[in-house]
Amino acid sequence: MNKNPKIALVGNPNCGKTSLFNALTGLRQKTGNFPGVTVDRKIGVTRLDKTTEVDVIDLPGTYSLYPKSLDEQVVLDILANPASKDYPEVVVMVADASNLKRNLLLFSQVSDLGFHTILALNMVDVAEAHGLTINADLLSERLGVPVVLINAKSEEGLENLKFAIKGELIEHSELPKPVLRLDTVSKEFIQEIKSQFKVANDYLAMLMAGQIEKLRFLTSENRTLLVDINRRHSFQQVDFQTKETVNRYKILGAIADESIRKKDDKPQETFTQKLDKILLHPIWGYASFFAILFLIFQSIFSLAEYPMDWIDSGMASLNEWLKSNLPEGLLTSLLTDGLVAGIGGVVVFIPQIAFLFTFISLLEESGYMARVMVLMDKLMRKVGLNGRSVVPLISSVACAVPAIMGSRTIQSWKDRLITIMVTPLMSCSARLPIFTIMIGLVIPERTILGIFNLQGLALMLLYLLGFVSALLSAWVMKNLMKVKERSFFIMEMPVFQLPRVDHVVMAVWNAVKAFVLEAGKVIVAISIILWVLASYGPGDSMEQAEQQIIKENPTLSQEELGNAIASAQLETSYAGRFGHFIEPAIRPLGYDWKIGIALLTSFAAREVFVGTMSTIYSLGGDDDTDTVKNKMRTEINPETGGPRFTPAVAFSLLIFYVFAMMCMSTLAATYRETKSWFYPAVQFTYMTAIAYVAAWITFQSLS
């Protein structure tokens, strides 16, 4: 086959669908957006046998084909549109075996659309722990489709599933008979829609009639025609959907009761149920959550310390080696003072980023993140959000861009908008380099009570400050937005299970790679621009600065004179002039013109701040074998004669970057999700204002 057949994975949220996708595709997968909508699109390749490969599409989780959120709507768009690029030849319906009746609703709707469908019963071991035994052969006979027992986490049953997929593709077995008879509407009504829109499937015709506004592939003419047909036949979509759901559950309930055998004896309390008594407790649940956060931030500092030191000293040695072995000139200066210095200021933080994503992946893989959503729902509602808002807020600890996109699972537009507006206040991984280096400058590296790392505690407090500010901002927006719209929160909690090592490794690798590549592109571009702006000045200002330093300092050694000349030239360069231009605005925060340059460049991406500081001090003539932290620690404030980065300045910068919206990608994501520049403008304005005022108060209080 020149073009791989497409296999769609469909299922309820938390049924193990994504675990199955990872098990089938491994590293042979890529992500993007579904055409025309900012919803994650995962597609990978799996081999059914030595000669047959298929494309596997992981569709968003949904409970039915009547969508209530943007990601659920994607499932309807694809399965109801044969012209879609992602329209599958076979649908694998992944179902939680311990909640079979509820999962069968979506299965029956997909099957009635006329797909070759396979029912993959996942987590059979969980069902057995609840005293349930499923007769897969009887279930297959009653539903008319292949039923395969699998365990996506341990990859049990995968070969049987591949065999079933191959059978559906090659043998083209007869399509299953419809589960639901459409006898609540007239045949003439269905036939008219099928005739007008060249549709062969009865249930697809009914979905078109009932989902006029939800099906994005319908043109305005299509919608007008469907409205007219509905009116002439007195079709009421809500009544039909209600009757359809009730009738489906009657039929499916009977089938499930036949196929499931329950043990007479009361099943023993499972490990998950015992653990949930603690993790969902109104007191111990929050205590456990904050204890886990504390452990994470302690570990980020303690575990990452040694690899960070190795990378930091390695980059400094590389820079020194390049300067010693390459001929002096502009290209060498660009390479060492621009690119290597800038990139070195970011790659040093790869260990901390890796540890952060490792912990996040472990929490998601184990099933704990769903508990956090349920636990936080009550608190979220008081500030205008709901439990589903927890996912974007927590995932923004990694990056705010996918976190904002993740808000599409929130049904209420008001809740979703507030979540989008406050999510960037959560400290993302791009802030981690700034936090780390500033904490290292002013917080001593010592332990409290012999086990608690003081720097790790400071880092946790910064992240908690972002979280609290997000909640307070949400509360303010809730009271400003007079929208009377109620939202509901339903969460299917998965069982606790050991995370798959390969899944965690894959998640960390993808996250670190994205961080390095995305940051790298920005850093390379800005480092080159910054090097040019810092290496040249208007007219002959650079030459005059050099002559003046030589004239005023005749007794300096050669090395001291070179450093003095480099510092003076940097100050008179284009970059230095830009820094001096904005210095009056940032001086009340305790910042000088060098910090001002870093603030300007970091508006492209926060993590550029450290790379810029590294470049600035390399061009400033300091000892190039020093790390950026040492260069900043030894920087002198010419007005006081003391260190530039005092506790007041360092804490002012920390507070500024907790609140500041300094990420163009996040603003672009807000625009894509809201379809308006008004909301990104408000987001940027209010966050920058909070950052400035909070940093000013911090500096003035500590000075």
Say which residue, 583 or 377, is predicted with more confidence. Answer: 583
**pLDDT mean across residues, the chain:** 80
* Domain made up of 1-268: CATH architecture: 3-Layer(aba) Sandwich (3.40)
Cβ within 8 Å of residue 627, ≥6 positions away:
312, 313, 315, 316, 348
Q: What is the pLDDT of residue 301?
A: 66
Q: For the chain, how many helices (H) and strands (E)?
A: 31, 11
pLDDT at 34 exceeding the cut of 50: no
pTM of the model: 0.62
Kindly state the average pLDDT of the residues 576-600.
Answer: 86
pLDDT at 534 exceeding the cut of 70: yes
pLDDT at 485 exceeding the cut of 60: no
Q: What is the pLDDT of residue 552?
A: 74
Q: Any idea which of 149-163, 286-300, 350-364, 393-407 has the lowest mean pLDDT?
A: 393-407
Q: What is the pLDDT of residue 38?
A: 42
pLDDT at 634 exceeding the cut of 90: no
Structure tokens at 699: 């500096």
pLDDT at 170 exceeding the cut of 50: yes
Q: What is the pLDDT of residue 306?
A: 78
Q: Give pLDDT tens digits for 291-316.
A: 887 787 777 767 777 787 788 778 77
**What's the alpha-carbon Rg for the chain, to the nearest Å?**
30
Kindly state the average pLDDT of the residues 30-58.
Answer: 72
Output helix, strand, coil percentages for the chain, rounded to the nearest 5: 65, 10, 30
Kindly state the average pLDDT of the residues 461-486.
Answer: 82
Cβ atoms of 649 and 635 closer than 8 Å: no
pLDDT at 53 exceeding the cut of 70: yes
Q: What are phi and psi of 517, to 5 degrees?
A: -70, -45
The domain ranges of the chain are 1-268, 284-480, 526-702
Kindly state the average pLDDT of the residues 318-338.
Answer: 78
pLDDT at 480 exceeding the cut of 50: yes
Structure tokens at 602: 């970091």
Give the helix/strand (H/E) hosting 359. Answer: helix 350-366
Q: Give pLDDT tens digits for 490-525.
A: 556 667 777 778 778 877 887 777 767 766 666 667
Q: What is the pLDDT of residue 173?
A: 67
Say which residue, 361 or 423, is predicted with more confidence. Answer: 423
Q: What are phi and psi of 586, to 5 degrees?
A: -105, -5
Cβ atoms of 40 and 407 closer than 8 Å: no
